[in-house]
Structure 1
Amino acid sequence: MVKANEVESAYKVAKERYAEIGVDTEAMMEKLSKIKLSVHCWQGDDIHGFLNPEQELTGGIGVSGDYPGIARTPDELTGDLSKAFSLIPGNHKVALHTLYAVTDKKKDFDEIGPEDFKYWVDWAKKEGAGLDMNPTFFSHPMVKNNFTLASPEKDVRDYWIKVGKQSRAIANYFGEELGQQSVNNFWIPDGFKDNPIDKQGPRQRLIESLDEIFEKKYDEKNTIEAVEGKLFGTGIESYTVGSHLFYDNYAISRGKLWTIDAGHWHPTEDVSDKFSAFMPFGKGLMLHVSRPVRWDSDHVVIFDEALVRIMRSLVRDNELERTNIGLDFFDATINRVAAWVVGARATQKALLQAMLAPIDDLKKAELNFDFTTRLAVTEELKSYPFGAVWDEFCLRNNVPVGSDWLDDIHKYEQEVQFPRDAK
C-alpha cells in the first residue's frame, strides 16, 4: 500500500520542479477537480439494459468476453457504478440510454418517459452525480433494414421520432432535478451495406426527422443535444447516413453540440485535430473517449499517445469549458468495474499531464518561430514528475493511490460480483 507521507514528499519535489518552469501544480489540480467525466453505464452490463435484456444487440454493436459478475438489475448496476466512483477522483456524471429505464410496467421505447428514470435521479442525488442521456436507436424490432430516423417508411420514422422526443423530456428532467445540464446524445445506425443509388434522400429524411424532434424548446440550463456521426458500421460499410460532415454541418446550423467519438474515424486520422477546426464555428463538443484497435473496437481507454493528443488539444486551445468529456467503451473480458476505473483515471491523467506545461511560454516561442525551444521543452516535459502530482490529486480526493485500487476491486468481485452468478 502506498504511504501518504511518501506521496506528499514526492509531490513537494514535483511542485518545485514545475514551479521552476512557471507551472502552478495547485492551480492545475484545482482545475482538474472541476472537470466532470460522463461515465457510460453500459460498460457495467454489456449494453443489455432493463427493458428487453434478452434482445440481441444490433446496430453493429458487439461486446466480447464473458467475465463473471455482470450487473443484471438496477441495484447491481448502480452498486457497481458507486464502487467505481469511489475509486475515481472527483465528482462525475453517468450517461444513460433509453433501455436503462426502470419500470414495473411493460413499455416500449417510445413510451419511456421521465417517470421511468426516477430511480436513476434518486441514486444520482445520493451519489452527488449528474446524468446524461442517449435515446436508444438500436436493439429493437423497429430498426428495419438498418434504418430508423432516415427510413423511407413513415411509420418507422414516426416511431423513432417519438423515441427522440421522449429522450429530450427525460434529459430535461435530469437537468431540472439535479441542477446540472444533461447532454442528450443522438446516434443512429442508419445506412447501406452496399452502394446506394440515392444518397441525398436518406439524409434529407434525417434532417426532417431531427428537426421535428428538436422543435420543442427546452432551457439549455437543463439540457442540450449533441449529434454523433460515424465513418461506417458493421453492416453499413458503404454508406452511413449520419456521416461526420453531415453532423458537423447540422450541429453548426442548428446550434447543437457535435459529438466526436475517438473510434468513429479512419484509423489514420487524428481526432484531436478536429476540435480547432470546428470550435470557431460550433456551439461546443461532446467527446466520446474510446480506444479503437484497427477499427471501432471500443477497447478500454488507456493512457496512450492518442489520448494524450486529445487532451493536449483541448487544454492548449482552451476548449475545456465548451467540451463535455464522456467515456464510451465496453469490454467483458475483464472486471467491468475495473474497466470504468482504468478508463476514467487514464483520461484524468492525460488531462493533468496536458495542464502541467508552460503553455503560454510555448505559444510565445511558436509565435516567434522559435521551434527549437518548442521542441526541446515539450520533449523535456515528457520526463517531468507529473505522476507525483497525480498521486497527490488522488490522495486529496480520498481515492486509492497508484494501483492500490485493484485490491478494492478484487475484494468487491469476490464479495459482491461473483456471487451473482450463483443465484
Structure 2
Amino acid sequence: MTRPDYTAAQDAFGHWGVDTEAALDRLARIPISVHCWQGDDVVGFEGVTAGSGGGIQATGNYPGRARTPDELRADLEFAYANIPGKHRLNLHASYLDSDETPERDALEYKHFAPWVDWAKENGLGLDFNPTFFAHPKADDNLTLSHPDKGIRDFWIRHGEICREIAARIGTEMGSPCVNNIWVPDGYKDIPVGRMAARERLEASLDAMLAKQFDKAQLLDAVESKLFGLGVEACTVGSHEFYLGYAIRKNTLLCLDMGHFHPTENIADKLSAVALSVDEILLHVSRPMRWDSDHVILLNDDILAMAQELVFGDLLGRTHIGLDFFDATISRTAAWVVGTRNMQKALLRALLQPVEMLQAKEAELNFSDRFILTEELKDLPYGAVWKTFCERQSVPSGVTLLNTLNTYQASVADRK
C-alpha cells in the first residue's frame, strides 16, 4: 500500500519534472563502504600491544565496544539490518580474525578469510586498508618516509602483503576490492626540509605498488591529509603530493572530508580532480577544529558533496566510504545514523531537477537559479525517504530510535 504522504510527494516533485521512483531505484543501487573501526574505537584484533603512532584517537567510554571479531560482526549485522540498501564493509589490516598473532609484514589471506565468508553470507562487498599506525614502528609518525631503511622496508612489505590480501578478497568476492593507502607520516614541528621525506615516500610507494593486479580484483587508492595530532607542521603525504602521484601512477585518489581545513569545500574538489583521475574514493566524515572524524550530519557539507556527485555525473566513478569514530555515543547508532545521513543526502540530490537547474546556469540566469534552489528546499524529501525505508524493510522515526536503544541495552554490559 502506497503511503498517502508519498503520493503527495510524488505530485510535488513531479511538478518540477522529478521522478521519485527513478530516484529511489538509483539510491538502492549505490553501495556505501561502512568502516569497521567505528565499532571498537580503532583498537583492532592483533592480540599484541600496539604502538601509539598515527595521531589516531577515539575519545569517550560509552558502553558496548566490540571486543572480538564475533562481537564486531554481530554489531555490524545489526547496523546493516537498519540501513536500507546493499552495502560494503571497509576492513583494516589490524582487524584480522585468527588465533595467530603475526607481525604486520607477515599477514596472510587466511587471517581474514572469516571476514570473507561472513561478507558472502551477508551479501556485502569488502574493501581493505593497510594499517600504518598504532604500531611501535610508527611511533615517530614516520613509516614509508622514515630515514631508517629498515623501517621503510618493513612498511613496504606490509603494504605489498595487504595488496595481495586485497586482491584475493576481490577475487573471492567477485567484486574489486578498494585498497586504500594512508600513512601518518609528518612532523610536529617545522622541518628543515621536506623534499627528502617526500622522495622517500614516493620511492616506497613505487616499490609497494610495483606488482600489477587485475582491476577486476584490486583498486589501489592513495589518501592525503592536511595535518593531525603530532604532524601539525608538515604532512609528507599532502593533497598536492597524492594528487600528482595518483595522476602519474593511475591510482584512485582518496578525498577524506576530515583531512582538509574545516573551511575548505571538499565538494568543489570532486570535479577538479575528476578531470585528471579516472576514479575517486571518498571518506566521508565531519571534522571539527581538526581531523576529529565526528559522525556525519545531514548538513550543508554532506548535501553539497552529494549534489556534486549527482550533478557532475560522478557516481559511476566514485567509491563512497565512511570514516568516523565516536566513543561518546552508541557505536551502532553512529553507524546507522551516519550511513543513513549519507543516503539521505544522495536522495536529496537525486530528487533535484538537474536539467532545469543546469539550463538556468548555462543561460547565466542566476536569479532563476537562486529562486529555484531556495524553493526546492521546501519539497517533502522526508516522505520519499520514509517510503524508501519501508520498501527496504528498515525502521525510521521513533521505531528506529527504539530499535537502536534496545540493541544498545543488550551490549551495554561489555567491559
- CA deviation digits over 1:55-104, x for unaligned, max 9? 35431111111011110001000000000000000010111111001111
Counterpart of 1:205 in structure 2 is 200
Aligned residues: 415
In structure 2, the CA distance between the partners of 1:57 and 1:397, relative to structure 1 (3 Å rule), is: farther
Tell me how far 1:369 sits from its aligned partner.
Answer: 1.2
Contact 1:144 1:156 in 2 (8 A): no
Counterpart of 1:419 in structure 2 is 413
The residue type equivalent to 1:338 in the other structure is A
Which of 345-354 and 364-373 deviates more? Answer: 364-373
1:400 to 2:395 alignment: yes
1:320 to 2:315 alignment: yes
Q: Distance in 1 between matches of 2:3 and 2:52?
A: 48
Tell me how far 1:122 sits from its aligned partner.
Answer: 0.6
- Using structure 1 for the length normalisation, give the TM-score: 0.96
3-state SS, counterpart of residue 274 of structure 1: helix
Q: Distance in 2 between matches of 1:29 and 1:66?
A: 38
3-state SS, counterpart of residue 127 of structure 2: strand
Counterpart of 2:326 in structure 1 is 331
3-state SS, counterpart of residue 147 of structure 1: coil
1:214 to 2:209 alignment: yes
- 1:7-406 equivalences in 2 (<5 Å): 8-52=3-47, 54-55=49-50, 57-406=52-401
Q: Distance in 1 between matches of 2:255 and 2:145?
A: 21
- CA deviation digits over 1:378-404, x for unaligned, max 9? 101111001111111111111002242
- CA deviation digits over 1:191-248, x for unaligned, max 9? 1111112211111111111111111111101110110011111111111100000000
3-state SS, counterpart of residue 296 of structure 1: strand
- CA deviation digits over 1:14-60, x for unaligned, max 9? 01111111111101111111110010000000011100465354311
The residue type equivalent to 1:420 in the other structure is R
Q: Distance in 2 between matches of 1:323 and 1:213?
A: 24
3-state SS, counterpart of residue 297 of structure 1: strand
What is the percent sequence identity of the aligned residues?
A: 47
- CA deviation digits over 1:223-281, x for unaligned, max 9? 10110011111111111100000000000111111111111111221111101111011
Structure 2 unmatched runs, 5+: none
Structure 1 unmatched runs, 5+: none
3-state SS, counterpart of residue 226 of structure 1: strand
- Using structure 2 for the length normalisation, give the TM-score: 0.98
Q: Distance in 2 between matches of 1:403 and 1:254?
A: 49
- CA deviation digits over 1:106-137, x for unaligned, max 9? 21111112111101001101110011111000
The residue type equivalent to 2:412 in the other structure is F
3-state SS, counterpart of residue 298 of structure 1: strand
3-state SS, counterpart of residue 404 of structure 1: helix
Q: Distance in 1 between matches of 2:397 and 2:105?
A: 45
3-state SS, counterpart of residue 292 of structure 1: strand
3-state SS, counterpart of residue 136 of structure 2: coil
- CA deviation digits over 1:395-418, x for unaligned, max 9? 111100224222122221223x12
- CA deviation digits over 1:158-199, x for unaligned, max 9? 000011011111111111111111110010011111111221
Q: Distance in 2 between matches of 1:58 and 1:387?
A: 43
The residue type equivalent to 1:419 in the other structure is D
3-state SS, counterpart of residue 357 of structure 1: coil
**RMSD across aligned positions (CA):** 1.2
Q: Distance in 2 between matches of 1:54 and 1:17?
A: 58
The residue type equivalent to 1:33 in the other structure is A
Contact 2:51 2:136 in 1 (8 A): no
Q: Distance in 2 between matches of 1:168 and 1:346?
A: 31
Contact 1:52 1:99 in 2 (8 A): no
Q: Distance in 2 between matches of 1:222 and 1:398?
A: 32
The residue type equivalent to 2:165 in the other structure is I
Q: Distance in 2 between matches of 1:420 and 1:387?
A: 36
